[in-house]
Structure 1
Amino acid sequence: MRHDYTDWLIHFVRDRDFDQDYPVETEEEFDFLVGGELEPDASAFSVLLSILNIGLKPYYSFRNGQTTIYGGTPAICVTEMPIYSFAQYISARRDTKKVSAYGIAILKKEFFKAGGRPVIYGTTDLNVSFEVNTPTYRVLDQSILNKSEQYRYVAYNPSGNNIKDRWIDWSHEREWRWRENNNKDAQIYYRNSDYSMAESPGLPLFVGESNGGFFSKVAIIVWSSEEADKIREELTGYYLAESNNYGIEFNRDVIARSVIIVLEQVKEAVEISKLVDSQTIEGLDKANLLEPILLHKDLELYRKVVETALELAAQEGLKASIEYNAENHPQGPCGFAHVSTFDVTKPEVQFMLANDYASGPFDGQVNIIFKTLWGHSQCLYYKEFIIERMCISLNNSFSDIKFYKTSRLD
């Protein structure tokens, strides 16, 4: 097999740039394009985390204030570049507003089954004309290309040599695209700009085929091992919760089969270790360079240490409640407080979740459940005082797990 051929497609992400991504004039247009999931200047890594949560959403792909997606509908764009070529590409461009070291890889055959198709580079007539040509709605003359296929069109002119007849060649990206179709399962759910739930055409990543999903596994691409650790926590949290923070059911098998690719390791494997096959995701698999989520077996081994630590923390909570009441603190607002951790990859935390000593994860946050030894009060200050002491106790018991106080007003 050729070293530049792969069964995978990559959707790479980049930093958000207000001027480039949102060429709109009204607040309504801005809200329609942006929604409430991301800030207008969100980093590429934040975009990646959002995609893991809600899935792939079609976009208009603006350039110079106009969409580059024709036919009147937005599209999801992916590239057939091998993973090493992708790493070279982002290193060469060095512009995170154009392309970054983060992305999602999906199997080509599954993207095709969902309705994705390779793009069409150019048409016979280079001087295309339009039926409609606005910043967000561009429809070519249908005598050139049928409207239903125009989302696949990419301008192409490798022989251009002047301002009027300019050079255009994006064929190195080996692009594929997906647009809204009649498949009712091709829907994603996300937070709108007014924080209400919104529905949009799109491709969820972890739903699973039994619930109408399209993908058996995905690969998440990052640059460094430190970033891979963060993604591993995110995926492990989704696995344990079996849903995202909007209650959309996730399939554990899809998550467990998914992998994390570290581009630093890819470049090292090819350029230093001379592992030529590692140019593709398939080759990385053979070289054991695909990092999975982290799930622990034999969790019962951690029962004694966890139960002892929770009992000590509960005793500290009791002492704190007595101390608080003795000091006659003023009554405060009502609210809720929790001992929380985000270390979902630790075996002790996974034991707590498996045995109802904790709840969650909720957006990666795990709330610890205690046997309450102290008197009840709705006062948030009272609860926070107790929780802070319990966090200190747990942090002393578990040196490699960080516990935090989280609270909110009622």
Structure 2
Amino acid sequence: MNNTRKDLSNWIIHFVHRRNPKNDPLEFSYDWENDFEYIPYPDSFTFDGEPLFLTEKYEEDDYGLEPDAHSFSVLKKILHDGIIKTGWSFRKGSPTIYGPKSAACFTEMPFYALIEYSKNRNDFDSIEPYGLAFIKEELFEAGARPVIYGLSGKHIESKEGDSNYGIGLRTLSSDCGIGINEMYRYVYTSIKRQKKIDWTHEREWRWADLDGKFDFPGMPFIAKTDEISFSTVIVFVKTNEEVQDILDHILNLHHSQTTNFDRLYDLKLLENILIVSMEALSTLSIDIEEVKFDDLPVNKIPKMKNIAVSKETYKLVKEAILEAERISFSVSEEKYKQYGDIGACGFANIVTYESNSEITQALINLEIAHSFAKGEYIIYLKGYPVQSIDVKEYGAIEAAKYLTEKLNQSFYSHTRLD
């Protein structure tokens, strides 16, 4: 690669933008005449036109992302899921991805151009400086390819009777000369003096699961697979405060080792993710107007650090947990004698939300705390043997107060119905 050219880079970017309910099929895929029944769009199709439904709505709902969530929240969910979800790129209710395979989109746009482009997009779908950058060679090996801008002949979409009809949400006619397996790469382009449709400046790449290797709808990167792996990824955000938030988020994923639905994480990649903020770039001795990812000083870019735990901390934590269990048992026993087994059945545990802490690392290492990739660390104390969630909660509240004071870290009561 010619590193003297500022318009070339060894990195390919996946932009992250805020959610727009108008373009989200989860928001407009309802049968309004049948009690708002949810009718999902297929995540993909086979090459024979059979629909594939891979998105589990309960998993999407479990994370709790708002329909109009900010770009930063979307970025954190992508990291949590470990995949870049493929889609049909709906615009005004119509898909813009052709063929049977939904796609994830990337751009070869240089970093400095990304910054400038994000400033100039002012509509609801504006591209903000949030996203992920992948090494070009590794992304190519994973199966991503540059898009095809336009056709040599006319743009003709398939109609009933055409061999391509129904193989996807939207397909080109078989007379167009582009194979069904490459159709996901096609971008409608018409560079004319009138009615110009030109997206070539985006230098887009796309990825699709052409071989049906995965049982989830997206390109894995943090999600561990035998088929695809990346040595490093750059996460870019706006502020230094967001950098710390992402560092804590990644550490929590590392502690969890899987999603809440047992999708394994690539722990080595989590340790090698770099986080860059626009705010921090202004303090570096680089020209932000021409900077490329290739120019960034890697040794100065934050990434997850493993936390060492001293013998003294291990001893302190073990003793504190034993005393917290005694307090929880004693208080709950007292309340049981006072009120009986009242109220609903459920659980009362202790939680903390601090990832980057020697105390939390000790709790994880000792297998006392457990995390499920949602930011919290749950401690299951041996409590008083009663079903009442109210009785258990009394003990959990007092135990949390004790741990907060003893370990100099915030702990809380956490209840859940059975």
What TM-score results when the alignment is normalised by the length of structure 1?
Answer: 0.83
C-alpha separation in 2, matches of 1:308 and 1:94: 56
Give the corresponding residue for 2:46.
none
Quick check: 1:338 aligned with 2:346?
no
Quote the offset at 1:348 in angstroms: 1.0
Q: Paired residues, what number?
A: 384
8 Å CA contact 2:7–2:109 kept in 1: the answer is: yes
Give the corresponding residue for 2:79.
52
Give the corresponding residue for 2:50.
none
Quote the offset at 1:383 in angstroms: 0.9
Moved more, 1-10 or 30-39: 30-39
Quote the offset at 1:316 in angstroms: 3.5
Pick from 167, 176, 189: which aligns with 1:143?
A: 176
Quote the offset at 1:183 in angstroms: 5.5
Corresponding letter in the other structure for 2:127: V
Quote the offset at 1:25 in angstroms: 6.2
Quick check: 1:281 aligned with 2:299?
no
8 Å CA contact 2:112–2:289 kept in 1: the answer is: no
Quote the offset at 1:29 in angstroms: 3.9
Summarize the alignment of residues 122-161 of structure 1 with structure 2, pairs less than 5 Å apart: 122-125=150-153, 127-132=154-159, 136-161=169-194
Summarize the alignment of residues 3-402 of structure 1 with structure 2, pairs less than 5 Å apart: 3-22=6-25, 24=29, 26=31, 27-30=37-40, 32=42, 36=57, 37=60, 38-54=65-81, 55-125=83-153, 127-132=154-159, 136-161=169-194, 166-182=195-211, 184=213, 187=214, 199-208=215-224, 211-266=226-281, 268-269=282-283, 273-275=285-287, 279-286=291-298, 288=300, 290-321=301-332, 323-325=334-336, 327-328=338-339, 331-370=342-381, 372=382, 375-399=384-408, 401-402=409-410
Query: Which secondary structure state, in structure 2, belongs to the residue aligned with residue 63 of structure 1?
Result: coil
Quote the offset at 1:319 in angstroms: 4.8
Corresponding letter in the other structure for 2:207: W
Identity of aligned residues (%): 29
Moved more, 87-96 or 74-83: 87-96
- With over 3 angstroms needed to count, the CA separation of the structure-2 counterparts of 1:83 and 1:390, relative to structure 1, is farther
Cα offsets for 1:190-223 (capped at 9, x unmatched): xxxxxxxxx43422122446x3333233222222
Cα offsets for 1:329-371 (capped at 9, x unmatched): 562222111101121221110011112232234533212244x
8 Å CA contact 1:10–1:80 kept in 2: the answer is: yes
Quick check: 1:406 aligned with 2:414?
yes
Query: Which secondary structure state, in structure 2, belongs to the residue aligned with residue 203 of structure 1?
Result: strand
Query: Which secondary structure state, in structure 1, belongs to the residue aligned with residue 302 of structure 2?
Result: strand
Structure 2: state its 5+ residue gaps.
32-36, 44-54, 160-164
Quote the offset at 1:286 in angstroms: 3.9
Quote the offset at 1:323 in angstroms: 4.2
What TM-score results when the alignment is normalised by the length of structure 2?
Answer: 0.82
- With over 3 angstroms needed to count, the CA separation of the structure-2 counterparts of 1:280 and 1:143, relative to structure 1, is same
8 Å CA contact 2:181–2:210 kept in 1: the answer is: no
Structure 1: state its 5+ residue gaps.
188-198
8 Å CA contact 2:147–2:204 kept in 1: the answer is: yes
Corresponding letter in the other structure for 2:367: D
Q: Which protein is richer in strand relative to its size?
A: 1
C-alpha separation in 2, matches of 1:25 and 1:344: 39
8 Å CA contact 2:144–2:206 kept in 1: the answer is: yes
8 Å CA contact 1:221–1:261 kept in 2: the answer is: yes
- With over 3 angstroms needed to count, the CA separation of the structure-2 counterparts of 1:275 and 1:313, relative to structure 1, is farther
Corresponding letter in the other structure for 2:73: S
Corresponding letter in the other structure for 1:389: E
Corresponding letter in the other structure for 2:276: I
C-alpha separation in 2, matches of 1:255 and 1:263: 21
RMSD: 2.9
Query: Which secondary structure state, in structure 2, belongs to the residue aligned with residue 131 of structure 1?
Result: coil
Quote the offset at 1:277 in angstroms: 9.6
